[in-house]
């Protein structure tokens, strides 16, 4: 899934700025396939709570982010 977006902010000096972004989201099977096709090995996919990355958490459907670790 891909998402593009634009939003406006006002910085501390009162200047208005427009931010644009383009994000790509991967499900575990997609990122695993992509890494394997690039010859990465020992691929580990772990769950994490917003910004709390650890290899101790099993990935669940409730995780908003995932940690992916692989070896080249």
Look up the domain containing 19 and give its range.
2-71
pLDDT at residue number 16? 97
What integer best gives the mean pLDDT of the chain?
A: 94
How many domains are there within the chain? 1
pLDDT at residue number 52? 84
What DSSP character marks residue 7? E
Strand duo 41-48 + 16-24: pairing: unpaired
Mean pLDDT value of segment 42-52: 90
What pairs with residue 3 in β-bridges? 23
Residue 64 has pLDDT above 90, yes or no: no
For 23, the token pair is: 């994000």
Mean pLDDT value of segment 41-67: 90
R_g of the chain computed on alpha carbons = 17
* Whole-number percent of the chain with pLDDT over 90: 78
């Amino acid at each position: 899934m891909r998402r593009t977006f634009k939003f406006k902010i006002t910085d501390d000096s009162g200047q208005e700025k427009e931010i644009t972004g383009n994000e790509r989201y991967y499900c575990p099977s997609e990122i695993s396939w992509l890494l394997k096709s690039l010859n990465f090995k020992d691929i580990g996919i772990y769950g994490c709570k917003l910004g709390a990355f650890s290899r101790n958490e099993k990935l669940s459907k409730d995780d908003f982010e995932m940690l992916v670790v692989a070896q080249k």
